[in-house]
Structure 1
Amino acid sequence: MKAVTWRGVNEIGVEDVPEPTILNSHDIIVEVGLSATCGSDLHLMGGYIPAMRAGDVLGHEFMGRVAEVGPAVTKHRVGDRVVVVSFVGCGKCWYCREGLWSLCDNGNPNPGLTEALWGQGIGGCYGYSHALGGWAGSHARYIRVPYADNGAFTIPEGVSDERALFASDAAPTGWTGAHQAEVRPGDVVAVWGAGGVGQMAARAAMVMGAERVVVIDRFDNRLQQVRTHIGAETLDYEEVNVPAELRELTGGRGPDVCIEAVGMEAHHPGPQYLYDQVKQQMRLQTDRPTAVREAIYACRKGGRVFTLGVFAGVVDRFPLGAVMNKALTLRGAQQHGHRYIPEILDLMSRDEVRTEHLATHVMALDDGPEGYRMFKEKEDGCVRAVFRPGG
């Protein structure tokens, strides 16, 4: 079958790969209907995430129809329309039972590298390097889904494929950030990044009762999407001093919650961007923490900061003194989507969460390299390139 693959740093290809088969009684095979690019895929593309191999199939945000079921699967039948969470969770280990699904002890069959990097291994993710399990990705006609009774969710009638697609990763990642940052009614929430995850974090904060939500970015089309489809306020960080503007909006205090949804390749108009970029390129640090720094400085005393953007290793000039002396709570996580997807699908069915606007460019698998190029360069207002493996 045809698939979009990683061929090397900044080299994306389309090639024939073997079709997946049932390997475990709890597996299903999904015929992929739609599969989206994600900002974290750009870290793979740029070579910032280790353990990629030429020929690895990319993609971790997808929906489709069940094509085959293993004998132990109880919740799904052939023909069911499902959305699949991007992280693999067994449902049996201590972490899954505690609702910390992306930390599953059994979802990553190759935890050695993450144990070396972070002290302990985390769960596995489709199409996201051999460090996170080596699972084949979703930019293909078919994909094997392990632990399917836990990770695949039936899409309600009336929810379009284009809407359900983003219940796989963008929406539950946003929900993870807002929920674990403990957004409360009346809070002021600031979100750095107006991509799919940032927009969904903003929407989640609004659903949880935040009084004001402000999203920070520099791309006009993304900021317009936030205002039109999410209903949040926006700031262009190239036009204003963001911490000063946030203090002005909050009576001098700063936001109660700051959510960083940018990750390791953050941009900034100031001189620190060049500093971070040079150190990252020289491998003196693995990540550019510009947005995280700003979030920490902008957050009110005693507030909560949450990192949703993907980070790989170590950063320089981290403002630990601000975290400690301002009495901030600093958290981060990969998404625990198994907890949130049922709620998100219900909200989607009631038009309280809308995501179709994120799919700005829908194309065939053959256009995979061009789709990734457009997505990386933000060409033609591309927010997400989405592939339709069936044509």
Structure 2
Amino acid sequence: MLTEKTMEKLRILAESAKYDVSCSSSGTVRSGKKGMVGSTVGGVGICHSFADDGRCISLLKVMLTNYCMYDCAYCINRRTNDIKRATLSVSELEEITMEFYRRNYIEGLFLSSGVVRNPDYTMERLVAIVRDLRTVHRFNGYIHLKTIPGASQELLQEAGRYADRMSVNIEIPKEESLKALAPEKNHKSIFLPMSQIQQGVLENKEDRRKFRHAPRFVPAGQSTQMIVGATKETDLDILKMSNAMYKQPTMRRVYYSGYVSVNTYDPRLPVLKQPPLVRENRLYQADWLMRFYHFNVDEIVDDAHAHLDLDVDPKLGWALRHPEFFPVDINKAPYEDILRVPGIGVKSAVLIVNSRRFNRITSYHLKKMGVVMKKAKYFITCGELTSAFSQPVIGINELRPERLRPLLLSKAQQRRAAAEKQLMLDFGNDDNP
């Protein structure tokens, strides 16, 4: 039975956990088993999101404690902040998870914690929770566990036997900026557990090839998070770090969190009127291009364009900078070229390539496939001279990018981008990175 005191602790700790956005989908399939409680959703995973069928998926996102020995400038839970503090016992958190699951409030658990005493002490308690949930309470749902940097490899190995996904947040992409805002942290303490988890996953794959029923180790891989706008790092710096992370075989997602001014009194931090949400969104779009659209990071951002264009999405921005690539012939171009056309997504590109084997594609077909013709019509040709949608008399090469650009911007987009450009960025001392 959950007491009023326990629920008050939960309220405080859930509030403290809301700034961590890396609530990754699981990517695992675990069907219900006799004697176990729950299952994971096949092919969908667990996150604060909507499934393909429109169903809302939820999980309990909570910290074990918001007390912390570190004083990171960007964190609401830093030790010098005067906020309400709370700590749940191991048994309390287990009881909350199982009670909420039985009431159908949640489908899984996202568990993190502030660091108390030392990393091993904190990690040991987190491991105790996930171990008890699996072995004592027979919980078969999704578990995402935040790793404590500096914890021993033995504890990480044990945690990986019970968690579906584990994550370590990079926070800041450059070491010097991280040291300026979080003097007790460094990249080595972050990358070491990442590599240890990766090693465990790869070894487990080999074991499962030899022994079919070998227990799984972090089957949904890893994720991480970077804060956007707290330091002077450019989008080029952020995306280069993301690109390096995705080259690791177990990294599934990199999350981007627009900096929220929670500690305005600290002179090391910028003063923002609001979080840089448009920039955050552009980074997610660029991330998508790297993962699914065959773009290299150097094509999206480079030394001449170190920041993403806030007015247009990164794919349209690339197209406007490379008019020589267009027009793309929908009926002849390879799949990779079709993916680069603004207004055409992965599903539409697959439909185009599969359908043109049987019939010539026209603008009518493209609309039916979900292509955004308002954008795509300036960058494609499909052999029609009279259609209002394809092969326009004036395309990108005739209009020129500088004239085409305003035609593709909605008034709402212009207003949002202009508002973000007006944000006051004040990093205090210019010597800070």
**TM-score, normalised by the number of residues in structure 2:** 0.24
Q: Which has a greater percent of strand? A: 1
Task: Name which one, 1 or 2, has greater alpha-carbon Rg.
Answer: 2
Q: Which has a greater percent of helix? A: 2
